[in-house]
Amino acid sequence: MEGDDSKVTRLPVRFKAPAPPERTLVRPYEVGKRDACHHESFVVDETKAEVECATCGTKLNPMWVLQHLASEERSFHDTHKRYVEEMERLSERSSTKCRHCGKMTRISYAKVKR
């Protein structure tokens, strides 16, 4: 079977070009290597303008911490916005079709604090 290319049909597949060597990697997951600590909580020394991880004690770049916190806040607000929109959409419905019996049944909603 080796060397018998007459029965092989080549597919028109293009492979991605590798990243250029001068490319700057922005996120650690692009490297494929993760730290044991994810640096989720911080200790801020305002007098020295330093930040360290509260879990492992590693000194962190304050700009990285600021970007990390801003990213988390944006994610929280986006998730909250989608949740509120979905709850508003669902609150307009009063009944739905039962998956088991096929009959219409009332929907009861718990009050949601906003």
Within a domain: 18:
no
Within a domain: 112:
no
How many domains does the chain fold into?
A: 1
pLDDT value at 65 more than 60: yes
Within a domain: 83:
yes
Within a domain: 104:
no
Within a domain: 12:
no
pLDDT at 26: 59
Within a domain: 66:
yes
**Residue 68 sits in which domain range?**
36-91
Q: Is the pTM of this model over 0.85?
A: no
How many other CB atoms are found less than 10 A from the CB of residue 51? 21
pLDDT value at 32 more than 70: no
Q: What DSSP string describes the chain? A: -TT-GGGPPPP--PPPPPPPTTPPP-SGGGTT---S----SEEEETTTTEEEETTT--EE-HHHHHHHHHHHHHHHHHHHHHHHHHHHHHHT--EEE-TTT--EEE--------
pLDDT value at 5 more than 60: yes
Within a domain: 50:
yes
**Average pLDDT across the chain, whole number:** 80
Within a domain: 73:
yes
Residue with the larger pLDDT of the pair 50 and 109: 50
